[in-house]
Chains A and B, each alone.
Chain A
Amino acid sequence: MTAIARAMGAALAAAGLFAVSALGASGGEPSSAPSPSRERELLALLKQDCGSCHGMRLTGGLGPALTPAALRTKPAESLVATIVSGRPGTAMPPWRRFVSEAEARWLVARMVSGDVNAP
């Protein structure tokens, strides 16, 4: 059951990725940037809901710090995978129900740059 669910999750994620790249190809531009209103939602989610464990200022709590200094050595793709799929055995849940892989990639870029405040 779990394996099937995981496989389905992976398939969905892959489909999402495919949809994004297809869109990007047809539009002639990378379309991974969320709309301005969705950006604000994502940054609010980061501050408030990721912040429940990582701290509202992302300086860490029950979960590790998500500051540029803390993330510098971590590959972006593994951070994206952690957001979307969670980390089994830890308190980090999968967020794919609320955040697409493209949105997770956008969030990681913002966290790495330290620019996480909503406009």
Chain B
Amino acid sequence: MRRSLHESFKALFLLLIAVPAAAQLRGTGDLGVVVERATGRVQIVDTTTRAALATIDGLGDLSHASVVYSRDGRYAYVFGRDGGLTKVDILAQRIDRRIVQAGNSIGGAISQDGRVVAAQNYTPGGVKLFAADTLEFLSEVRATPGPDGAPSKVVGLADAPGGKFVASLFDTGEIWVIDAANPRAPNVEKFGNVGKQPYDGLVTPDGRYYIAGLFGEDGLALLDLWHTERGVRRILDKYGKGDEKLPVYKMPHLRGWAIAGGYAFLPAVGRHEVLVVDTRDWKEVARVPVAGQPVFAIARPDARQVWVNFAFPDNGQVQVIDTESRAVVKTLVPGRAVLHLEFTPRGEAVWISARDDDRVVVYDTATYLTLATLPVDAPSGIFFTARAARMGF
């Protein structure tokens, strides 16, 4: 018995030293990708060593790229502006599959069970569903024609519980709930007259509420996914009180919207303000004056801070809001044209992309000290694998 156990260990040892170093096992929980928007590449990064592991080339036009992850955190689905959908294996550090699924695309989502990837498209306007493993085309939900006769551009696509996707139609002012239980023949529940020009949307972290921001009027559209029979209601109606808003040089993005401690921190369109809303009754409770028009307002995972970046021309700064005092407590200058920020899974650090300085800066979120600076060619979106486990990401 003792001898055979000894033999087994010996055999196991021999097997282990026979495996080449390149095939060493590792998890993906501390990995992510950074988009190099101008060159059609992504860098695979490690948030433990704060270093780039590999560069993957050949992803097309990444000028408005976004990424979702397979539920095992191994594959990154990269949606390109040119309709490209690329499945990148971040462990093997190579492209697994790639298709061009539309003429002009803006992003996508992955279903609750991880089997279906949905792409939201501008041309042709609509949502296309694909098998997550093979990228096989499953079905298309074509959008309602807008005033120019072309199908509306689809924005704000998010996954929701029950195998659903929710999206907004920019040109026709609708919210659609797409039930992809049968992804080859999805059911669509449509809500019209939600407001003028919904430009992006999100689901709350618990998956219950879908909120679309409106560009064409002051207010947001809210759908309770537990009670869709109650329809879409307006929240923060006329938050601008009829004042003329400032010219908007970059649309805010809502997917990172911060829900922190029962309050939502939302970018005000055309104003140098972040709106604070109580998520129990969706009433405004405060406004935080900030350095410019907010683009992303993102909560640190412990919800104590909300970090905000800004539209051109104030896009060289990032501000930190303390969620308790609802005041800006820190202003940082990571570099020119800050496009995105992403917290490490538990928020001890934040990665910030500065496009025009070709770098990503990593900050300690407690001390605001710089932990690392990575050279990245015109970085935009930063996406860590922790998104794989979060609804609405």
**Chain A residues in the interface with B (C-beta under 8 A):** 1-2, 48-49, 51-53, 55-57, 59-62, 86, 89, 91, 93-94, 97-98
Contacts and interface: CB of A to CB of B under 8 A. Distances in A.
A62 B356 CA distance: 23
Nearest to B196: A89
Interface residues of B, number: 29
A56 B155 CA distance: 18
Given A56-B61, A59-B104, A91 B122 contact: no
Contacts, number: 63
Interface string B65-102: 00000000000000001100000000000000000000
Contact of B199 (A51, A56, A62, A93): A62
A83 to B, nearest CB: 12
B104 A93 contact: no
Interface of B: 37-38, 61, 63-64, 81-82, 104, 106, 122-123, 153, 155, 170, 197, 199, 215-216, 244, 247-251, 312-313, 337, 355-356
B247 A61 contact: no
Chain A contact residues, majority secondary structure: loop
Nearest to B247: A93
The 4 lowest CB-CB distance pairs between A and B, nearest first, are A56-B63, A93-B247, A52-B250, A49-B312
B369 to A, nearest CB: 29
5 contacts: A49-B250, A56-B37, A62-B251, A91-B199, A93-B249
Contacts of A94: 247
Given A49-B250, A55-B64, A93-B249, A60 B82 contact: no
B109 to A, nearest CB: 18
Contact of B215 (A49, A59, A91): A91
Given A55-B64, A93-B247, A61 B104 contact: yes
Contact of A98 (B81, B106, B313, B337): B313
Given A56-B37, A61-B122, A49 B81 contact: no
A61 B61 contact: no
A49 B247 CA distance: 13
A62 B253 CA distance: 13
A2 B244 contact: yes
Contacts of B63: 51, 55-57
Given A57-B63, A91-B197, A91-B215, A62 B248 contact: no
B370 to A, nearest CB: 24
B300 to A, nearest CB: 26
Nearest to A1: B244
Given A62-B153, A62-B199, A91-B215, A56 B247 contact: no
Contacts of B216: 89
A49 B249 contact: yes
A59 B248 contact: no
Contacts of B244: 1-2
A93 B248 CA distance: 6
Given A2-B244, A91-B215, A61 B81 contact: yes
Most-contacted residue by chain A among B38, B122, B249, B250 (CB, 10 A): B249
A108 B9 CA distance: 74
Contact of B38 (A56, A86, A97): A56
Nearest to A54: B63
Contacts of A2: 244
B40 to A, nearest CB: 10
B156 to A, nearest CB: 12
Given A57-B81, A57-B82, A60-B123, 11 more contacts: A1-B244, A2-B244, A52-B312, A53-B251, A56-B37, A59-B81, A59-B82, A60-B122, A61-B64, A62-B122, A62-B251
Contact of B248 (A56, A89, A91, A98): A91
A53 B155 CA distance: 13
Nearest to A44: B356
Contacts of A89: 216
Contacts of B104: 55, 59-61
Nearest to B63: A56
Contacts of A49: 249-250, 312
Contacts of A57: 61, 63, 81-82
B61 A59 contact: yes
Nearest to A45: B312
